[in-house]
A and B are shown apart, each in its own frame.
Chain A
């Protein structure tokens, strides 16, 4: 069997996927902050607002987990499209959680930014 090591580009790609996966829960909760949305709308907003293009099949299991944790709630609504849609909204504990997660994320990103600052304009 050929066990060629991954190229640096593959490694970078894997790292990027891990980073995005780590932030996905926060991103989904954050996108629900202003209003209730259904699954496809959540996917489209993640893509258009954050450049997060995730496999479509993964969104519903994630929403189901967030619902089981009590962070989001859902309801079926008869839509103009002619079929019902399942809308998700943040619960009060969900709003609290997304605030805390956002705080953690910002502190982490700010720390990382400080570490990366010396690289700005340094061509070494």
Chain B
């Protein structure tokens, strides 16, 4: 293989690796993702010090880690750093969402967070709306199917049995706040957990 061909093959190998890293950097803003890629390229070029053979490039890339690992480390560290500045529930949910594509645990954490916040919001809205629309707001269970439960505000008369009645106000507020807080804590824990496992 001529030196030029070898050089091209080495550079093509590096481009493929960086392209794979970029595919997993979806959790970073575009400008940061581009900068991360540029810095990794610069690192590898420094490492091989002019030897662009496939073997030299491969050795440098091996020391960096697999594209997925490198991307995971960069994204989790950045997302965790953002959370140090602002830990509002929305930012925590957004952080968990940014990490969702990086691992199975990320998907799990995102789905649990979505469900937790949605249920908490449902309970709080129901509790707040009950005094203004008492007949159409509450928690109902269908008489023929005790597994079918309806929570919230509806536009039509419910045929099921209403549970709780006016108690939905204190219980909805209490449970909604508790569930929202637990979901928020779970989100914070998940981001830290994913950061620890990415670093390990």
Contact = CB atoms under 8 A, between A and B. Distances in A.
B41 interface: yes
A83 B73 contact: no
Given A57-B70, A81-B46, A65 B39 contact: no
Nearest to A17: B200
B1 interface: no
A40 interface: yes
Given A38-B42, A86-B39, A86-B42, A62 B77 contact: yes
Contacts of A55: 63, 65
Contacts of B65: 55-57
Interface residues of B, number: 29
Interface stretch (B78-86, B113-121, B132-140): B78-86
A60 B72 CA distance: 12
A96 interface: no
B91 interface: no
Main secondary structure of the interface of A (DSSP, over half): helix
A116 interface: no
User: Secondary structure of the B side of the interface?
Assistant: helix
Interface string B50-73: 000000000000011100011001
Contact of A38 (B46, B78, B85): B46
B42 A85 contact: yes
Given A40-B46, A57-B69, A57-B73, A83 B78 contact: no
B36 interface: yes
Interface of A: 21, 38-40, 55-58, 60-62, 64-65, 68-69, 76, 81-86
Interface of B: 32, 35-36, 38-43, 45-47, 49, 63-65, 69-70, 73-74, 76-78, 80-82, 84-85, 199
